[in-house]
Amino acid sequence: MDLKELPSNVGDDKISEETNILISSLPSHTDFQGKKLCNYQGCWYNYTTLQGVLNFQAGFKPQDTDIILASYPKSGTTWLKALTVALMERSKNQSFDHHPLLSNGPHGLVPFLELHVYRESSSPNLAKFSSLPRLFSTHMPLHAMHETLKDSPCKIVYLCRDVKDTLISWWFFRSAIHKMEPTRSLLEAMFEAFCNGTIYYGPIWEYVLSYWRRSLEDPKQVLFMRYEEMKEEPRGQIKRLAEFLGCPFTKEEEDNGLVDEILEFCSLRNLSGLEVNKIKIFNKMDRKIFFRKGEVGDWKNYLTPEMENKLDMIIQEKLQGSGLKF
């Protein structure tokens, strides 16, 4: 699916009457930028996203071979999408000269279920997903997909990123969307929202734990990956991903350097330089804002020691006993 084909802006007028009734019964909150959020099944959504979640829950019929790439916003979703496409496409494309990632960006090739595919309807036309496996992505927590996927063996890859880097990345992203300088006051407001959980797709703790726990219970269904590990040992992690997806690298591919070629092709430097990733997409959002520094620990340049301590304490408390550490 090409995001250029999507409607330019779906507003609250696309919220069904049924959803409006539901919204009136849900906990609500106005965020730091005046956007209305409501809490549905433990997660904060804006109204348009909630409509997409409800459409997905009502209409999505998983196929056994489906692959869903899941992540909290600003965790490296774009990178994971590109790597997964490159892994799945490699049997068809021997060279990178005519690669699908050259004519469509990672988000166009792997659309978000609730934000794109099911944004307007519970029965979208899925003809574009005729080649198998179907590749989708989501920012929904796992519990939002639980009922819909409960008897399905489809695979889910979850990409987790350090909470503080996620926050900083999001601060820059939100500023870029609104074509504003990233101000301290916005960072402080986002920090508070992150800490108390009343943020789009938050609270992040319950969110990450939903995937973490499932990955321990059923590692064949949920692969839990970490951005920092991908940065630290990309070769090992991409091989892990390929194995999980059922398309491990052959010895010949490894000997021919394909692992490194894919990593280079999907590197931030290469992807951000591609013409296709410089254009505007729906909502007039610039694709290039999905690429910034891609560094681990960038938060150290922006968070005060007090902010660091507060987040560390919350993380410790919320993740206690889960085995998950940041």
Nearest to 172 by CA among 45, 20, 299: 299
Q: How far is the CB of 85 from ligand A3P (least distance, A)?
A: 12
Phi, psi of 247 (to 5 degrees): -135, 65
Contact 277, 105 (CB under 8 A): yes
Sheet with 28-30, side-by-side order of all strands: 28-30, 36-40, 43-46
Choose which of 294, 303, 307, 314 interacts with ligand A3P (CB under 6 A): 294
Phi, psi of 285 (to 5 degrees): -80, 135
Nearer to ligand A3P, 114 or 165 (CB): 165
| Position 293 contacts ligand A3P (CB under 6 A) | yes
CA atoms of 171 and 190, how far apart (whole Å): 7
Choose which of 3, 40, 68, 74 interacts with ligand A3P (CB under 6 A): 74
| Position 126 contacts ligand A3P (CB under 6 A) | no
Nearer to ligand A3P, 243 or 264 (CB): 264
Q: How far is the CB of 16 from ligand A3P (least distance, A)?
A: 28
Please identify which of the residues 29, 98, 107, 139 carries the catalytic annotation: 139
Residues 200-229 touching ligand A3P, rule: CB under 6 A, are: none
Binding mask 167-186 for ligand A3P (x = CB under 6 A): --x--x--------------
Nearer to ligand A3P, 54 or 157 (CB): 157
Return the structure tokens found at 2.
């090409």
| Position 76 contacts ligand A3P (CB under 6 A) | yes
Nearer to ligand A3P, 126 or 298 (CB): 298
Segment interacting with ligand A3P (CB under 6 A) among 38-46, 68-76, 146-154, 195-203: 68-76
| Position 110 contacts ligand A3P (CB under 6 A) | no
Using DSSP's 3-state secondary structure scheme, residue 160 falls into: strand
Question: For residue 113, what is the DSSP state?
Answer: I
Return the structure tokens found at 49.
């996203």
Residue positions counted in the chain: 326
Phi, psi of 282 (to 5 degrees): -55, 155
Nearer to ligand A3P, 128 or 293 (CB): 293
Q: How far is the CB of 298 from ligand A3P (least distance, A)?
A: 5
Backbone dihedral region of 282: left (phi > 0), alpha (psi from -120 to 50 degrees) or beta? beta
Question: For residue 94, what is the DSSP state?
Answer: S
The verdict on whether 139 is a catalytic residue reads: yes
| Terminal CA-CA length for the chain | 35
Active site residues: 139
| Binding-site ranges for ligand A3P (CB under 6 A) | 71, 73-79, 165, 169, 172, 266-268, 271, 290-294, 298
